[in-house]
Structure 1
């Protein structure tokens, strides 16, 4: 019987295939597809390594580590694209990751969990707090675009300065949210943490290991470094082949960034959220989906803006207006459905249907900028 880890181990075969495809010149489409498949298991093992290290270093530092490395794969892919000057792809990846987590991941979790259990409950107070943070993120990424469209003569440098200032505020809010969830109001999030601890305990029991056993810290640090390097290498291959491959496949920069790249980067988190939802642990499932979106909006996006400013790439928060509409729609319906702390299969279907409609809209959207 195939389990999740077995599938990830099998997918590792795409690492040598993608490298061979690059050096033997099998075509940019083959490189793009195989590099994308190779990133999926690497992202999964990065998450496992981070969790194992978190067990050793303790709950506070471990929580910070998980919060920082939670979206490391998306950050690496986006930074490589940023360095290559694919600004529109980077922006599309940011909005796409938010949309994907709120609609696709949470939608599948609620739908599949709801098929097995009539109704599933999760912490409504934490859900409402997360909803408020996502509303702030939408406002923050909306304003630079609003300044651009409501003013004349606003230069690129002015927009970048505004975006850097907003990015600093968002990172500060992210730090405050970590203090809130890990220190001052950690009891609101205890249910999800208890479920996560229960998962670990079950795994230990299945393996017949002693509960006192702690992971080998340096082994997992080594694994984390190796898989991070692997993600960086595969991201280079992915980005280098992106322009020609997507052109050959008839895809736009917008669709590639919003739909394809987030699915590649978030595949491991998708699997985790759905798996725990099927086990009726919706607190953990919702925290994975919504928490990932929050990290993208409040940490990854601001870091990329500051990184773009530092390396001389004009990365700002002036997004395509249609992307902003899509993010606002995703946040609105996700907040509406999750605010009561209860879910069922129909609500999951609504999230998936919204994602499908947005996906079709992005596919047919006639945007030609970004990839040339």
Structure 2
């Protein structure tokens, strides 16, 4: 068993600890910390199972599997928080997940890869398509906020209707991006094998297919575990973060995405260190588009269905932060080449925005 696997399974020991902390009433901070430490390995296991299933099912179906389950931890955590009525934190987590994908994930990949290789290259199509769609998405997400702050009196129901219409357009756009990348123009996204290896022989393929059922079971088990731990986490997150002096805005924008996307940091770092920047950038591209065009609309629709309406009327500073993130990412990545300084620039932008959100009074 590899060191990574050993570490992940060792961290799973925090699951019974989180249950004990809850049932034995060790305190909110104990439940908070142990549930976070349990979510991390579960997230890595879920990500690994998704990758394994995607490899076996082939490029088209595998791409769809990655699209659906690639950010399952973020979606599960957000849905549990929404069901608990933490609407402010869920809204902020949408912003945070986008910032994390564009600045933290991509910056981490460019920095770590750039420290090993003087310069790395990737297909510019990833940056162009992602940049165009993310620019449109940020404009769409900003519209409810702009309506609110440019009108003297705005009916809350009107904002909800605008948000529903925006969510509908975004999810249709996501379907079009899948059609474009997986079907009509899939050749533009051909980045080779997920692990940068030679094509497997028939025996290897047969072995992987025989393990498909096992990986599906792992995927379902990890999802259930994340849902359970998320319920524990959400039950104490407000009191625990207040005790740490954190606002709901900072908790949603910075803390939740950091917890839920640990698997992404591991994957991007591994790919960048192997000089697989095509795969690294395409993964970041897929994550950012999934969050913006799929997860955000789903949360809007589900909130309406559950009677806990969540709209896209963000804090104006969140809209500004998204615009900054998209602009800086586009400037850095449009050339199709990267180095460690590009990564440092993206990470510095994320750090500055994080500090600003920490001190923001909202």
TM over 0.5: yes
**Partner Cα separation in structure 1 for residue 188 and residue 56 of structure 2:** 24
- Work out which of the residue numbers 236, 245, 263 in structure 2 matches 1:241: 236
**Partner Cα separation in structure 2 for residue 267 and residue 217 of structure 1:** 24
| Residue aligning to 1:57 | 57
Task: Tell me if 1:338 matches 2:333.
Answer: yes
| Residue aligning to 1:186 | 186
| Residue aligning to 2:137 | 137
**Partner Cα separation in structure 2 for residue 5 and residue 299 of structure 1:** 31
When structure 1 is superposed on structure 2, of 341-350 and 222-231 the one drifting more is 222-231
Give CA deviations for 1:236-278 in whole Å, capped at 9, x if unaligned: 0111011110011111111111111101111001110011101
Gaps of 5+ in 2: none
| Residue aligning to 1:196 | 194
Give CA deviations for 1:7-29 in whole Å, capped at 9, x if unaligned: 22221111111111111111111
| Residue aligning to 1:106 | 106
Give CA deviations for 1:273-327 in whole Å, capped at 9, x if unaligned: 0111011111111112222111100000000001011111120100011111111
| Residue aligning to 1:328 | 323
SS of 1:135's equivalent?
A: helix
Offset of residue 126 of structure 1: 2.3
| Residue aligning to 1:24 | 24
Offset of residue 36 of structure 1: 1.1
| Residue aligning to 1:230 | 225
* TM-score, structure 1 as length reference: 0.93
- Work out which of the residue numbers 352, 359, 362 in structure 1 matches 2:354: 359
Task: Tell me if 1:81 matches 2:76.
Answer: no
1:116-195 mapped onto 2 (5 Å cutoff): 116-191=116-191, 194-195=192-193
SS of 2:26's equivalent?
A: coil
Pair 197,187 (structure 1): closer, same or farther in 2 beyond 3 Å: farther
**Partner Cα separation in structure 2 for residue 358 and residue 126 of structure 1:** 25
Task: Give yes or no for contact 1:156–1:314 (8 Å, CA) kept in 2.
Answer: no
**Partner Cα separation in structure 2 for residue 5 and residue 335 of structure 1:** 35
Offset of residue 112 of structure 1: 1.1
Q: CA RMSD in A?
A: 1.7
Gaps of 5+ in 1: 368-372
| Residue aligning to 1:213 | 207
Offset of residue 104 of structure 1: 1.1
Give CA deviations for 1:150-203 in whole Å, capped at 9, x if unaligned: 113322221111111110110000000001111111111102xx041534x59x
Give CA deviations for 1:106-131 in whole Å, capped at 9, x if unaligned: 11111111011000000012211111
1:7-18 mapped onto 2 (5 Å cutoff): 7-18=7-18
Give CA deviations for 1:344-364 in whole Å, capped at 9, x if unaligned: 011111111111111111111
Equivalences, count: 360
Pair 83,286 (structure 1): closer, same or farther in 2 beyond 3 Å: same
Offset of residue 2 of structure 1: 6.4
| Residue aligning to 1:97 | 97
Task: Give yes or no for contact 2:56–2:205 (8 Å, CA) kept in 1.
Answer: no
**Partner Cα separation in structure 2 for residue 35 and residue 93 of structure 1:** 18
Task: Give yes or no for contact 1:170–1:302 (8 Å, CA) kept in 2.
Answer: yes
